[in-house]
Amino acid sequence: MTGVKHQKWWGWGVEGIGFSPEGKPNFAPFVRKQIGLDISEPGTPPKFEDLDVPAPVIAADLHDRLLGIVGERFLLEDDLDRIVHTFGKGVRDLIRIRRGDLRRVVDVVVYPADEAQVQRVVDTCVEADAVLIPFGGGSNIVGALEPEPTERRTVVSVDLGRMTKVLEIDDESGLARIQAGALGPQIEEQLGRRGWTMGHFPDSFTHSTLGGWIATRSTGMQSDKYGDIADIVKGLRAVRQGEVLALRPLPSTSSGPSVREMILGSEGRLGIITEAWVNVHRVPEVREIVGYFFPDFSSGLRAMKAIDDSDAHVTVSRVSDAPETQFSFATQKAQRGVQKIVMNGLFGYLKRRGWDTDQICLSYVGFEGGRRYVKQNQAIVKEIVKAHGGIVVGTGVGAVYDSKKFQVPYIRDFLLDRGATADVSETTTPWSNLQNLYDTTIEAVTQAFQKAQTQGFVMCHFAHSYHSGACLYFTFAIPDSDPDSTYRNYDLVKRAIQQNFMDTGATVSHHHGVGSEHSPWLAEDISPAGTHLQRVLLDGADPGHHFNPGKILHDGKPGVAVHSYDAPLPGGVPGTPVD
Amino acid sequence: MTGVKHQKWWGWGVEGIGFSPEGKPNFAPFVRKQIGLDISEPGTPPKFEDLDVPAPVIAADLHDRLLGIVGERFLLEDDLDRIVHTFGKGVRDLIRIRRGDLRRVVDVVVYPADEAQVQRVVDTCVEADAVLIPFGGGSNIVGALEPEPTERRTVVSVDLGRMTKVLEIDDESGLARIQAGALGPQIEEQLGRRGWTMGHFPDSFTHSTLGGWIATRSTGMQSDKYGDIADIVKGLRAVRQGEVLALRPLPSTSSGPSVREMILGSEGRLGIITEAWVNVHRVPEVREIVGYFFPDFSSGLRAMKAIDDSDAHVTVSRVSDAPETQFSFATQKAQRGVQKIVMNGLFGYLKRRGWDTDQICLSYVGFEGGRRYVKQNQAIVKEIVKAHGGIVVGTGVGAVYDSKKFQVPYIRDFLLDRGATADVSETTTPWSNLQNLYDTTIEAVTQAFQKAQTQGFVMCHFAHSYHSGACLYFTFAIPDSDPDSTYRNYDLVKRAIQQNFMDTGATVSHHHGVGSEHSPWLAEDISPAGTHLQRVLLDGADPGHHFNPGKILHDGKPGVAVHSYDAPLPGGVPGTPVD
């Protein structure tokens, strides 16, 4: 065995861990009310033996040469490993796997030990006219990992799972050199032992890697303080055919069009990232997440803007709309004793104050630093919350958020097991457009539900505050027992959301990347001249199309958006974009 | 007349303003001591009638078509305007002008009124196989404006000087849409009227434009708060052949390799920037620059790092080394009355405390925000300064800095008039390498002075604090009455500095850009694979080489650094890189 552990082939996280509604008495009624689904029946997870996995396509010569580089233990070609390395964890991936709709499965998986082996793998594969797809935690949800359906060449998945070390910490500069295959917990554990943190905690944290964060332009929940991964990465190395791109750690530079920013978001198309220099910070004296309630979403949004305008410095700023707040309550364990009395008392108090408790919006704000500094910032935020009609709920709720933050994807698998589909779309826009973006997206989704004649559910939260705007993160769910219509209805809703982002001046994605899922809208986002420049770069840097071909840009004419969701899948079902 | 005012053809700033040593009794002795130059003789500024300006090369058809687009008043072809638009204000430019060494002068200057006219100019010129060089404030100091010496096609300078408006302010988002030709003061005046500031104040502020800042990846002195121009610009428009690149204002996005970051630093090679959405901020309640003294440069550097590590938030952090501190004192007006007594008292006090007053290092730290917030931050910084052996000098010195900050380039012309050459090189590096970078650069310059057998002077300041490092900014001067050896000696020193940046892990430039001046070192900075990716982008996006060709990358093999300073100039003198 390689010693590298990956997620379930059919869903999120590792085998043995999943969502359970037990002890959460509000969950089943909530699901029944929102999407009319009865979750009392046991679910039916897929069985691997039901899959018909195509045989690998690889010449004996290439096989032997790869074996010569990584050794027998680190070249895998069994069906399970090939399936795990073919898909990310987008809902489209999961539906496809459950339907046995596999298409082009990667042929072989190699686990290089170090950058030198990556270089040999790359050079060998390019020479043999094979395709290389780098693989980190496999948590991608925009279709960036799957080979093109029509690919005839050998597809090699290059798993960075053996390259997980923090190689060096520059204590004086607050910089660490870390291998690209390191998962979030592996990074924080190694840094934490020496009193450091990277401060990058995306929702996928437990199952995503540094290399993946860079390749997709990831953002963590504490971005208000630590920045996006694009701000955190100061230098990097990436293996290309016959050369290593080596960018030294620099706080800032004016050395022409930024090559660092070309690799960020390149999704494997410009080479394989092997390591990066990242900003690291001393673990702060105090770290607190405080919970707040607002009487409605608009008040919450305005309060978050006021915090950004103030002299306060926060690490997290987040508000859920009313449906997401109710979802949070529904997934909580039953409260007992004092806690129950306090919460009931609080709701009673708010009702007497005239709040519509169905409209309550839960908010979290994070604080870090010295004790006095945290206190000062909390005082400023408290005043702002009060001025916007909100109340402080306290650090208890914050701690619950902190402990649950990585659990949500498991709920999606629980629902898929029971015939419901859930997915997400997130974006950013300037502050002045946030309310409009929210209203129009909810309206677009509601119309899509009607068109699909399904009882869907949509919820949203605000997060990631920047000087000029912020992120809105939508989650929706639809019930359907018929796999084909689920798929079609899912498409309808997803497309409605993405198209509304374009129509209202928001971006295709704030931190999930483009992959094949979002590429149909890219030219509308950055203009056809923008995708033209990307194409010039990506095609020019990889004229033989060996590096994860087909991602980010469709292979249509330069700069033309191909809304290929309309293209029929094999079997006549509208489906994923086909390049 | 066009109504657009430009700098002197032979030096910095506008006619009638210059440096005068009058009332600064310490200046002449300082210059004599440091570089052995007697400045008592009147200088000899160059005469325009001494120049032999080559006739413009332009076909009648192209001329008429450009005239048809911009109109007679906005197409200039007289020698003076052509010279002004051929050069930036690098010392190499100024020496060349003074020697009448003009080489390839631009053929015609057009002033489009708006983006539509820019598009017509671009399309017309590309169709006619002419070269386009965008022009803003003409303050570039890295050779990014001059046509290639061997260029045979018509060279059109596209002056953005009529496009100077703040078009729109999004009050709710803190964003402003501003035309690319707006100079610093034009921007701040228009924003200030509505209570906003962009907070971007490079040393060139009075004579540089938004478009120029973007094209070179500029940084302003308040970058600790407001960020580099790369952080400030959230959206932009740029005219390319037959298309407008349109990036909407977005706080953050994961839409593939960043096209925004391709245009930043593109120095005219990817098109002509016409406008940008930038972050703007409310003019703060309090804005103060406080002066400090440190007993030596190392203490100052360590204190700046401690400020960055602390919970304090500052807008400017700056320390001059001892020579630059003495230069500051030497350029001050004679002090009188109370001020003189206070300063003498202060120096006496420091001597009694055991300071070597020749080693004193002057530091400035800036603060902005609400009164209470500024006070808290000043208190933290004061403690840090004291802990590093420094003392608070007060806001008086800060105000002097603030009023003089844009004056320094005039001193260079004053010296050039008298046979001395001064230039700058600036870079960034991680904190752990700052002291080493300083020591080795001073050593390299000192050796270069010896090799050149000249009595040179070098000084340095620290500025622009980032989490992981900062900028060091070196200024040097050498005396020489023989134009040829001045030039050769200047080259020797400049090369020694840039090469030391490469050898010690610093970058070619923090905020001046690449142009032709720094391109010989680019591949050492970002690795040959890095310049290869830049070449793929720049050449692929402009296969006909119509947009400011030859800048950033040399036309050697991909990724090969060409140290073409060694190449002889016409006349046998080693000189500028020849592409």
Residue A398 has pLDDT above 90, yes or no: no
Chain B residues with CB-CB distance to A270 below 8 A? 257, 533
Give CA–CA dist A534/A553, Å, rounded: 8
A119 touches chain B (CB under 8 A): no
Nearest chain A residue to B217, by CA: A254
- Cross-chain residue pair B466–A252, CB shorter than 8 Å: yes
Residues 373-392 of A with CB under 8 A from B: 373, 376
B251 vs A251, A373, A428: nearest CB = A428
Residues 482-501 of B with CB under 8 A from A: none
Residue A210 has pLDDT above 90, yes or no: yes
Q: With bands split at pLDDT 50, 70 and 90, how would you rate the model's confidence at A570?
A: very low
B552 vs A218, A256, A467: nearest CB = A256
Residue A66 DSSP symbol: H
pTM of the model: 0.95
Residue A78 DSSP symbol: S
Question: Residue B488 has what pLDDT?
Answer: 86
ipTM of this complex:
0.95
Specify whether the CB–CB gap between A229 and A241 falls below 8 A. no
- Cross-chain residue pair B254–A216, CB shorter than 8 Å: yes
Q: With bands split at pLDDT 50, 70 and 90, how would you rate the model's confidence at B402?
A: low
In angstroms, what separates the C-alpha of B508 from chain A's closest C-alpha?
7
Residue of A171, A219, A234, A253 to mutate, testing the B interface (most B Cβ within 10 Å of its Cβ): A253
- Cross-chain residue pair A256–B553, CB shorter than 8 Å: yes
A21 touches chain B (CB under 8 A): no
In angstroms, what separates the C-alpha of B321 from chain A's closest C-alpha?
21
Specify whether the CB–CB gap between A463 and A470 falls below 8 A. yes
- Is B71 in a helix, a strand, or coil? coil
Mean pLDDT taken over chain A: 92
Q: Which helix (H) or strand (E) holds A124?
A: helix A115-127
The predicted model gives B465-479 an average pLDDT of 97
Give CA–CA dist A363/A463, Å, rounded: 10
The predicted model gives A196-206 an average pLDDT of 96
- Cα–Cα distances in Å, from B106 out to B55, B154, B162, B245? 10, 8, 19, 26
A254 vs B250, B432, B513: nearest CB = B513
A239 touches chain B (CB under 8 A): no
- Cross-chain residue pair B369–A311, CB shorter than 8 Å: yes
Question: Residue A111 has what pLDDT?
Answer: 98
Nearest chain A residue to B278, by CA: A468
Chain B residues with CB-CB distance to A234 below 8 A? 468
B436 touches chain A (CB under 8 A): no
B314 touches chain A (CB under 8 A): no
- Cross-chain residue pair A538–B513, CB shorter than 8 Å: no
- The token duo for B285 is 């309640």
The candidate with the shortest Cα–Cα distance to B252, out of A507, A574, A179, is: A507
Mean pLDDT taken over chain B: 92
The predicted model gives A330-348 an average pLDDT of 81
A536 vs B372, B428, B540: nearest CB = B540
A512 touches chain B (CB under 8 A): yes
Chain B residues with CB-CB distance to A250 below 8 A? 428-430, 469, 506-507
- Cross-chain residue pair B532–A218, CB shorter than 8 Å: no
Query: Residue B258 contacts by C-beta under 8 Å, 6 or more apart in sequence?
Result: A230, A258, A261, A262, A264, A265
Question: For A536-539, which contacts have Cβ atoms below 8 Å and span 24 or more sequence positions?
Answer: A536/B536, A536/B537, A536/B540, A536/B541, A537/A262, A537/A270, A537/B257, A537/B262, A537/B533, A537/B536, A537/B537, A537/B540, A538/A266, A538/A269, A538/A270, A538/B257, A539/B540
Residue B560 has pLDDT above 70, yes or no: no
Give CA–CA dist A519/A502, Å, rounded: 12
Question: Residue A502 has what pLDDT?
Answer: 97
DSSP string, A191-259: HHTTTEE-----TTGGG-BHHHHHHHT---TTHHHH--HHHHEEEEEEEETTEEEEE---S---SSS-S
- Cross-chain residue pair B257–A270, CB shorter than 8 Å: yes
- Cross-chain residue pair B255–A218, CB shorter than 8 Å: no
Residue B575 has pLDDT above 60, yes or no: no
B543 touches chain A (CB under 8 A): no
- Cross-chain residue pair B510–A218, CB shorter than 8 Å: no
The predicted model gives A386-393 an average pLDDT of 96
- Cross-chain residue pair B262–A533, CB shorter than 8 Å: yes
**Percent of chain B clearing pLDDT 70 (strictly above):** 95
The candidate with the shortest Cα–Cα distance to B97, out of B48, B142, B57, is: B48
In angstroms, what separates the C-alpha of B505 from chain A's closest C-alpha?
7
Chain B residues with CB-CB distance to A301 below 8 A? none
- Cross-chain residue pair B254–A469, CB shorter than 8 Å: no
- Cross-chain residue pair B170–A249, CB shorter than 8 Å: no
- The token duo for A450 is 């009607």
A428 touches chain B (CB under 8 A): yes
Q: Which residues of B are catalytic?
A: 473
A556 touches chain B (CB under 8 A): no
The strand pair at B233-240 and B272-279 is best described as antiparallel
- Cα–Cα distances in Å, from B436 out to A92, A521, B304, B319? 53, 49, 16, 16
Q: What is the pLDDT of residues B481-520, one digit of tens each?
A: 676 787 889 999 999 999 999 999 999 999 999 999 999 9
Q: Between A331 and B270, where is the model more confident?
A: B270
- Cross-chain residue pair A246–B530, CB shorter than 8 Å: yes
- The token duo for A518 is 């979002």
Torsion, Cα A353 A355 A360 A364, to 10 degrees, reads -30
- Cross-chain residue pair A467–B248, CB shorter than 8 Å: no
Question: Residue A404 has what pLDDT?
Answer: 72
Nearest chain A residue to B279, by CA: A468
Inter-chain Cβ pairs, chain A and chain B, closer than 8 A? 302
The predicted model gives B560-574 an average pLDDT of 36
In angstroms, what separates the C-alpha of B525 from chain A's closest C-alpha?
8
Residue with tokens 């109340």: A391
Chain A residues with CB-CB distance to B528 below 8 A? 243
Question: Residue B555 has what pLDDT?
Answer: 60
- Cross-chain residue pair A538–B257, CB shorter than 8 Å: yes
A510 touches chain B (CB under 8 A): yes
Query: Residue B234 contacts by C-beta under 8 Å, 6 or more apart in sequence?
Result: A468, B175, B249, B250, B251, B276, B277, B278, B279
Query: Residue A161 contacts by C-beta under 8 Å, 6 or more apart in sequence?
Result: A2, A4, A6, A111, A135, A136, A181
Q: What is the pLDDT of residues A501-557, one digit of tens each?
A: 999 999 999 999 999 999 999 999 999 999 999 999 999 999 999 999 999 997 644
- Cross-chain residue pair A470–B279, CB shorter than 8 Å: no
- Residue A473 known to be catalytic: yes
Question: Residue B568 has what pLDDT?
Answer: 37
- Cross-chain residue pair B253–A217, CB shorter than 8 Å: yes
Residue B312 has pLDDT above 70, yes or no: yes
Nearest chain A residue to B502, by CA: A248
B369 touches chain A (CB under 8 A): yes
A167 touches chain B (CB under 8 A): no
Q: Between A46 and B213, where is the model more confident?
A: B213
Can you name the residues that pair with A168 across neighbouring β-strands?
A177
In angstroms, what separates the C-alpha of B544 from chain A's closest C-alpha?
14
In angstroms, what separates the C-alpha of A340 from chain B's closest C-alpha?
38
B219 touches chain A (CB under 8 A): yes
Torsion, Cα B488 B493 B498 B501, to 10 degrees, reads 160
